[in-house]
C-alpha cells in the first residue's frame, strides 16, 4: 500500500533505472569547431548494439564507433578485426590490388594522442593522388571508441595521416 501512496517517487526511481545506462553510456563526438570543413552527417546504429557518428568534408570522411559495453575488448582481436574490415573495404574500392595494412609502432602513439591504443592504415593510389584508409582505438579510464578515417586524393600518405591525427585529437571521449 505504501507503494501506491508514494507512486510518483516509485515512478521516478523506475525511470532512473531505465535511463541510467543511456545517460551514463560512453560517447565519442568530434569537436567541429576544431575541425573546419567537416560536417556531421548523422548517427547510425541501435544504441543497444553500437552508435556510429559520421562526419565528412572535402574528400574526407571520419566516424566514431561506440559500443554499449564499458568493458574494453581484447585489443589484439579488435585490431585484427579492424584490419580485416579495412582490407575488405579497400579491396572492394580498388579491384586490382591486394591492400597491405600497416600498424603504427606503439611507441609513436602517445606522440599523436595519449588516448590511442592502436592505429592502422592502408595507403593506395600514387603520389599526388594518394588515398588513405585508417582506423584507431582511443580510450580513457572509463570509455573506448573505434575511429575510422578515409582521405581521397591527398598529395602524400603523411598528409592524410596528419589530418587523421588532428581529428583524433579533436574527438571528445566521455
Work out the angle at residue 43's Cα, subtended by the Cα atoms of residues 41 and 49, and round it to the nearest 5 degrees.
155
- According to the model, what pLDDT value does residue 17 have? 40
Give the tens place of pLDDT for each residue, 112-161: 999 999 999 999 988 888 999 999 999 998 899 999 999 999 999 999 99
Phi, psi of 155 (to 5 degrees): -65, -40
Give me the domains of the chain, ranges plus CATH numbers.
26-173 (3.40.1000)
Give the tens place of pLDDT for each residue, 49-78: 899 999 999 899 999 999 887 677 788 998
Reading the block at residue 74, the C-alpha cell is 581484447
pLDDT band at 18 (very low <50, low <70, confident <90, very high): very low
Taking the C-alpha atoms of residue 160 and residue 43, their distance in angstroms, rounded to an integer, is 24
Is residue 35 helix, strand or coil? Answer: coil
- pTM assigned to the model: 0.81
pLDDT band at 5 (very low <50, low <70, confident <90, very high): low
Is residue 128 helix, strand or coil? Answer: coil
Amino acid at each position: 500500500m505504501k507503494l501506491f501512496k508514494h507512486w510518483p517517487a516509485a515512478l521516478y526511481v523506475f525511470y532512473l533505472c531505465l535511463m541510467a545506462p543511456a545517460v551514463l553510456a560512453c560517447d565519442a563526438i568530434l569537436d567541429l569547431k576544431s575541425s573546419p570543413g567537416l560536417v556531421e552527417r548523422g548517427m547510425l546504429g541501435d544504441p543497444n548494439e553500437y552508435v556510429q557518428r559520421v562526419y565528412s568534408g572535402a574528400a574526407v570522411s571520419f566516424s566514431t564507433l561506440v559500443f554499449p559495453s564499458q568493458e574494453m575488448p581484447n585489443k589484439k582481436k579488435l585490431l585484427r578485426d579492424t584490419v580485416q574490415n579495412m582490407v575488405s573495404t579497400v579491396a572492394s574500392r580498388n579491384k586490382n590490388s591486394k591492400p597491405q595494412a600497416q600498424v603504427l609502432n606503439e611507441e609513436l602513439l602517445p606522440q599523436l594522442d595519449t588516448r590511442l591504443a592502436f592505429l592502422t592504415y592502408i595507403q593506395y593510389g600514387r603520389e599526388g593522388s594518394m588515398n588513405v584508409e585508417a582506423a584507431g582505438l582511443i580510450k580513457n579510464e572509463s570509455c573506448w571508441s573505434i575511429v575510422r578515417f578515409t582521405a581521397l586524393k591527398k598529395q602524400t600518405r603523411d598528409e592524410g595521416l596528419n589530418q587523421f591525427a588532428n581529428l583524433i585529437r579533436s574527438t571528445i571521449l566521455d
